Amino acid sequence: MAQIKKILAGALALCMAGSVLTACGGDKEGDTGSTGGSESKTEDAKGGSEGGNEEKKEDTKEETKPADTASLVNTGKVYNVYCWNTEFKERFEKYYEGAKDTALWDGVTINWVINPNEGNNYQTKLDEAIKKQSSAADDEKVDLFLVEADYAMKYVNSDACLDVIGEIGITKDDLKDQYKYTQDVMTDSNGTLKGLSWQATPGLFLYNAEYAKEVLGTDDPDEVQAQISDWTKFGEVAQKMKDKGIFMVSGYDDTYRCFSNNVSGPWVTDGKITIDPQIKAWADQTKEYSDKGYNNGTSLWDPAWTAGQKIDGKVFGYFFSTWGIPFTLLPNTLDKSADEGGEMAEGNGGYGKWRACKGPQSYFWGGTWIVGCFGSDNVAITRDVMLKLTCDADIMAQITENEQDYTNNKAAIKKLIDGGYTNPFLGGQNHLVLLSDAAEQIDLTGKVSAYDQGCNEEFQGAMKDYFQGTVTYDEALAKFKTNITTKYGDLTMD
Amino acid sequence: MARIEGIAGENEDQVKLKIRQGVAYAVLILLMFISLLPFYLLLINATRGKVQPGIKFIPEGQFFKNIGKIFNDAYKANYGSFIKSFFNSIFVSSVSTVLCVYFSALTAYAVHVYDFKLKKSVHTFILLVMMVPTQASAIGLYRMLVSMKLTNSFIPLTIPAIAAPATYFFMIQYMASALPLEIVEAARMDGCGEYKTFNIIVLPILKPALAVQAIFVFVSNWNNLFLPQMLLDDQSKKTIPVVLQLIKANIDSNPMTADAGLMNMFMVLAILPVVIIYLLLSKNIVGGVSLGAVKG
Amino acid sequence: MRKTISYAKWGYIFLIPFVLIYTIFSLVPLLETFGFSFLDYTVSQGSVSSIRGGGEDTIINNGFCGLANYIKVMKSDGIFNMSFRSTVVLWLVGFIPQIVISLLLASWFTDIRLKLKAQGFFKTVMYMPNVIMASALSVLFFSLFTKSGAIDDLLGGPDLLKNEWGARGVVGFINFLMWYGNTTIMLMAAMMGIDTSLYEAAQIDGANPSQVFWQITMPLIKPILAYVFVTSMIGGLQMYDVPYLIGGTQGNPNGVLKTLVSQIQLGKNSSVGAVSALSIIVFIVSAVLGFITLKIMDDQSIKTRYGKKKKK
């Protein structure tokens, strides 16, 4: 881990000088030199299908002018932040405290209200607080709260969130370096953006290079990618792996995000639950894989799932997001952990023996968004927090450098790539290129609903019995229906 | 003849006794292993590092490092002072335990000793409400406490212990077998007031029952997560299980700060006081023997 | 006798704290739940309450609906039917070994002839598992029993948790482990209340240990035994954490770990009406079973307690 940090630090040091310049320039107009240029190129490249549509949206959005920053309220004495773990608090203290607009914070103290989400505790309490927002004493009003993608729409659909542009006063230009999907998640049906994230969490397929060589005859990421670039090919490789006694993936849920991020419509429309063809395709495929022995029948985070990440763990690959590599795959694949003084170098378990490729479909996994709450008496502070923590290329580059968060800033990431970044854990591969491609390709327009969390969880859970062969698909589906309509009493399903 | 038979019988008895002892020890030792296994694993985990794939049976070298992590500044910034949350838990658990045990005994005493019109209805009512699933009124209770402005307060975590149907039930069952009404009447003869009789004469007789319930109530309060988690937002008010939940939340969703070694060490430290309380109170349960003798 | 009457007021006085506190903290929310069970009441999870005015409310209350919630819950594919049997089976799987072992241990510990050594140590050890939070215990045992866990490997990889009875067995085992010490202590406390001269007399009469146990110990500890049965059953019907942590929200495999309370947990934020009805049903079932148990096991002490006039 220490080595990754060193390399990242080195890469960053190289581009620091440039980054300062572009950051200053960017603040003014956004027509600056090199980064701006390459920026628009990537935009054009991905434009395609929804390009025109987007243009229009932007036009209509132009009507909601950025709020006048001078007139933002900042009368509160306590800034209340609602979240479910200490992640944001740590980022805030480490990266925002030093950069904050001290004038805004004069006489204001911050109050962290942290409620773990186990048993839906976080949302229950947040909802209660939002409900009381207008009657609450000034110092008890929610100023900022955090949400995750799977239930973000619940808040985005409501009128509790402040409009990032129209009410908080962030400009389109401030947001230009963010990945589109991170904004899709927080955009309501009228096209209003309601929250921002400092991180992006695109995913890749991480594979065991030794098995790749053994079975496919190559461990080169491009060649491996060519062999698994769609699900048909992926299945063919799975058969080859099976013949050698290797599981293609570890468990049932591993491929789920690839499918669920590429659905044609959301789980719920007008109070009705529909099973998208992509979701059904996941169930069919996983059933097939289970019957044919392409997977090891594990569930995410199980000991058996973890054990497969050893270099001789008999599992070819895992779908991992940015954070999964340093924090899950790395520690799980080592023979001797860093705590025990294990060296971060080849020879220690699977270190250096994993590679990354894009996999059959782009997807993301995880991520946290920050939202300003209506009725807040410190909107000016919210603007400052959002600007510094989600738009500022320098700060975000630092976060990537120190925390191994893949930050939501194309410019920061590009600088790292241009700086000749390589990852020794992946045998010197530069997987940031893959991640940034993947992040660009994720499109969630019209694919998210407020009920995704429950639907995903309950569907995956209900299908387990089907994969294990104890019930038919229809029986599993019937169980899903009963569960989901209990969990969400306001929904119906055919 | 008779004498020889007697000796043979005694020998046989001795053999039987030895066999019974043997069986008893075998069962006890097996149960001991099973019961201590989770503690052993927990202790092992408390010597391991931040990420702990799989189960291990041999300790690693992080024990003192993990203790250190609970008292360092990073811990304090994220989870508040350990000492503070520890004493919050001690306070809440002790107060609830005392209130619960004392008032349950008093309530049971009222129903057991006095004859009054509503006696039967009260007893039936308390037994009935004992059957109410705790989940049934959880959300309503939370809303109510919020509107009573009782969040971030220890009041809703301690005072309701006064009305504990299950403890009442135990007390009255115990009184049925161990509190003869003669004792109460003897006290009255001596001119002892009713409330005083309960405090001075009856409570000591109930000591084994009080000790048993005190242990259970203390442990369940010490481990209680549900209501404290809903009510305590203020970091300086959080109890041990609430903080543990926070440490866990980081393990589930914040890999950078996730630290399983820290979490397991936290659990080890959190268990210690309960074990001590148990050892202290279990002596009183043994005291029951002498009570039986006195009664006889 | 004259005096007894004048003492009655003390009965009421001593009941005041309980009644007062119970009414404030438990009865009010309970009555609310009772009311909800007759309402067509759901809370939308698709949004949060409108705070700018004019927006839709998340609460969808279509008013009184009679027994519709109860009927819905009790239907063949309703949430009561889906989990009542599983819950009872799960409880029994843990409770039967628990009560057997506890009776055995308690009688051993109190047996004056057996003279077991290191009793204090064993008594402490057996209570210890109850000290660990159910969640921590479940997580530990999950990692032992799950696929590739230590015990799973030891047994040759049967993957117990994917087998219906295997999963029930593991949950039952954890419940047993958590509660056998607790039960033993209570039974012991009851047995210690027994007059030792009764045992001595039995010994002189030449009764063997099992005769002593069934004819002296059992009848005398009936009140506490009844307590153990009833409270354990109530706890069993409300079982939640352990099966949830082993089988997830679905109670896999095949829903055998899906308990009544996990249904309540699943719907409490949204299907308020239905879940309230389920809570009331669980309450009624507990009450009926509880009073039947008391009637069978503790008839004597109930009679004494309720008898028109005490023996005096």
Same domain, C216 and C278: yes
The answer to whether the Cα torsion of A341, A347, A352, A353 is positive or negative is negative
CA dihedral of residues A319, A324, A326, A329 (deg, nearest 10): -50
C166 and C51 inside one domain? no
Does B161 lie in the same domain as B36? no
CB-based contacts of C167, cutoff 8 Å, min separation 6: C160, C161, C246, C247, C252, C253, C256, C257
CB-based contacts of C62: which residues, under 8 Å, 6+ apart? C39, C40, C41
**Residue B218 sits in the same domain as residue B111:** yes
Q: Is the pLDDT of residue B7 over 80?
A: no
B73 and B21 part of one domain: no
pLDDT tier at B6 (50, 70, 90 boundaries)? very low
Mean of the per-residue pLDDT values of chain B? 86
Range of the domain at C88: 73-306
* Chain B hits for A337, Cβ within 8 Å: 49, 51
> Which residues in B lie closer than 8 A to residue A89 (C-beta atoms)?
78
Query: For residue B286, what are the β-bridge partners?
Result: none
- Specify whether C46 is located in the same domain as C139: no
Closest to C21 (Cα-Cα) out of B68, B162, A10: B162
From chain A residues 158-197, the ones with a CB under 8 A of any chain C CB are: 158-160
Report if residue C193 sits inside a domain. Answer: yes
pLDDT tens-digit series, residues C185-230:
888 888 877 777 888 888 888 888 788 888 888 888 888 898 899 9
Cβ-Cβ contacts under 8 Å, A86 against chain B: 78-79, 246, 250, 254, 257
B94 or C309: which leads in pLDDT: B94
The first and second tokens of residue B94, run together, are 């002790």
Query: Can you give the pLDDT at residue C298?
Result: 67
Residue-level pLDDT at A27: 38
Chains that touch B (3 or more CB pairs under 8 A): A, C
- CA A357 centroid distance within chain: 17
Please name the residue of chain C whose CA is at the shortest distance from the CA of residue A160: C51
In this prediction, residue C221 carries a pLDDT of 86
Identify whether residues C102 and C44 lie together within a single domain: no
Q: Are residues C46 and C179 in the same domain?
A: no
For residue B254, which residues of chain A lie inside 8 Å, CB to CB? 85-87, 90
CA distance B52 to B35: 23
In a domain, C255, yes or no: yes
Is the residue at C253 inside a domain? yes
Nearest CA distance, C51 vs chain A (angstrom): 6
Same domain, B13 and B116: no
- Show the domain range for B12: 2-45
The count of CB pairs under 8 A between chains B and C is 287
- Stretch B258-267: mean pLDDT: 92
Residues lower than pLDDT 70 in chain C: 1-6, 54-55, 298-312
CB C77 to CB A482 under 8 A?
Answer: yes
Do C174 and C259 fall within a single domain? yes
Residues B10 and B149 in one domain: no
Q: Specify whether C138 is located in the same domain as C234.
A: yes
**pLDDT in the model for residue B175:** 87
Is residue C312 assigned to a domain?
Answer: no
Interface of A with C in 292-351 (CB under 8 A): 296-298, 302-304, 307
On whether residue B56 sits in a domain, the answer given is no
Q: What backbone phi and psi angles, to 5 degrees, belong to C206?
A: 80, 25
Whether B109 contacts C14, CB under 8 Å: yes
Q: Give the pLDDT of residue C300.
A: 57
Of B110, B117, B131, the CB nearest to C234: B131
Of C27, C52, C70, the last residue of a domain is: C70
Q: Which two tokens stand for residue C184?
A: 């033993």
Q: Which residues of B touch A309 (CB under 8 A)?
A: 53
Positive/negative CA dihedral, B199, B203, B205, B207: negative
CATH at C154: 1.10.3720.10
- Whether residue C42 lies inside any domain: the answer is yes
Residues in chain B closer than 8 A to A93 (CB atoms): 77
Q: Quote the pTM value.
A: 0.87
Rg (CA), chain C: 24
Distance CA A181, CA A186 (A): 9
State which residue of chain C sits closest to B20, comparing Cα positions: C114
Q: What is the pLDDT of residue B2?
A: 42
Residue from A125, A154, A158 whose CB has the most chain C CBs within 10 Å, to mutate: A158
Chain A: list its partners (3+ Cβ pairs within 8 Å): B, C
Q: Which chain B residues are within 8 Å of C231, Cβ to Cβ? A: 130, 166, 169-170
Q: Do C46 and A449 touch (CB under 8 A)?
A: yes
Pair C29, C155 in one domain:
no
> What's B225's domain CATH number?
1.10.3720.10
With tokens 């009469």, the residue in question is C205
pLDDT at C128: 86
Q: List the domains of chain A with CATH numbers.
A: 42-201+365-419 (3.40.190.10), 203-361+444-493 (3.40.190.10)
Q: Which residues of C touch A122 (CB under 8 A)?
A: none
C-beta of residue A62 within 8 angstroms of C-beta of residue B54: no
On whether residue B99 sits in a domain, the answer given is yes
CA distance C148 to chain A (A): 5
Which tokens belong to C137?
A: 């215990």
Burial class, C97, CB count within 10 angstroms (exposed 0-12 / middle 13-18 / buried 19+): middle
From C147's Cα to the closest Cα of chain A, the distance in A is 6
Q: What is the mean pLDDT of residues B138-152?
A: 84
Higher pLDDT: B54 or C11? It is: C11
How many domains, in total, are found in chain B?
A: 2
| Counted domains in chain C | 2
C66 and C141 co-located in one domain: no
- Specify the DSSP class assigned to residue C213: I
Interface contact B253-A303, CB threshold 8 A:
no
* Same domain? C187 vs C104: yes
Write out chain A's pLDDT in tens, 494 residues: 444 444 444 444 433 333 333 333 333 333 333 333 333 333 343 333 443 444 444 444 445 778 887 888 899 999 999 999 999 999 999 999 999 999 999 999 999 999 998 888 899 899 989 988 988 888 899 999 999 999 999 999 899 999 999 999 999 999 999 999 999 999 998 899 999 999 999 999 999 999 999 999 999 999 999 999 999 999 999 999 999 999 999 999 999 999 999 999 999 999 999 999 999 999 999 999 999 999 999 988 888 898 999 999 999 999 999 888 888 899 899 988 887 788 888 889 999 999 999 999 999 998 899 999 999 999 999 999 999 999 999 999 888 888 878 999 999 999 888 888 888 999 999 999 999 999 999 998 889 999 999 999 999 999 999 999 999 999 999 999 999 999 999 999 98
> What DSSP designation does B233 have?
-
Q: In this structure, are C165 and C51 located in the same domain? A: no
Residue of A nearest to B250 (CA): A85
CB C274 within 8 A of CB C267: yes
| Alpha-carbon distance C231 to nearest alpha carbon in chain A (angstroms) | 25
**How do A295-298 and A249-251 pair as beta strands?**
parallel
Chain A residues inside the 8 Å CB shell of C265: 119
- Kindly state whether residue C104 falls inside one of the protein's structural domains: yes
Nearest to B253 among A85, A89, A403 (CB): A85
Residues 6 or more apart whose CB falls under 8 angstroms from that of A367 comprise A148, A149, A182, A185, A197, A199, A200, A201
Last residue of a domain, one of C34, C51, C70: C70
What is the 3-state secondary structure of chain A? CHHHHHHHHHHHHHHHHHHHHHHHHHHHCCCCCHHHHHHHHHHHHHHHHHHHHHHHHHHHHHHCCCCCHHHCCCCCCEEEEEECCCHHHHHHHHHHCCCCCCCCCCCCEEEEEECCCHHHHHHHHHHHHHHCCCCCCHHHCEEEEEEEHHHHHHHHCCCCECCCCCCCCCCCCCCCCCCHHHHHCCECCCCCECCECCECCEEEEEEEHHHHHHHHCCCCHHHHHHHCCCHHHHHHHHHHHHHCCCECEEECCCCHHHHHCCCCCCCEECCEECCCHHHHHHHHHHHHHHHHCCEEEECCCCHHHHHCCCCCCCECEEEEECCHHHHHHHHHHCCCCCCCCCCCCCCCCCCCCEEEECCCCCCECCCEEEEEECCCCCHHHHHHHHHHHHHCHHHHHHHHHHHCCCECCHHHHHHHHHCCCCEHHHCCECHHHHHHHHHHHCCCCCCCCCCHHHHHHHHHHHHHHHHCCCCCHHHHHHHHHHHHHHHCCCCEEC
C125, two tokens: 């050890």
Question: CA separation (Å) from B261 to B63, B66, B247, B273, C133?
Answer: 8, 6, 11, 20, 17
Confirm whether B154 is domain-assigned. yes
Q: Which residue has the higher pLDDT, A29 or B275?
A: B275
Say whether A489 and C46 touch across the interface (CB within 8 A). Answer: no
Of the three residues C70, C95, C115, the one that is the final residue of a domain is C70
**Is B57 a domain residue?**
no
What CA–CA distance (Å, rounded) separates B196 from A164?
68
Residues B191 and B129 placed together within one structural domain of the fold = yes
Q: Are residues C105 and C227 in the same domain?
A: yes
Is C258 part of any domain? yes
* pLDDT given for residue B9 in this prediction: 54
Whether residue C311 lies inside any domain: the answer is no
User: Could you tell me if B37 and B80 lie in one domain?
Assistant: no
**Do the beta carbons of residue A372 and residue A164 sit within 8 Å?**
yes
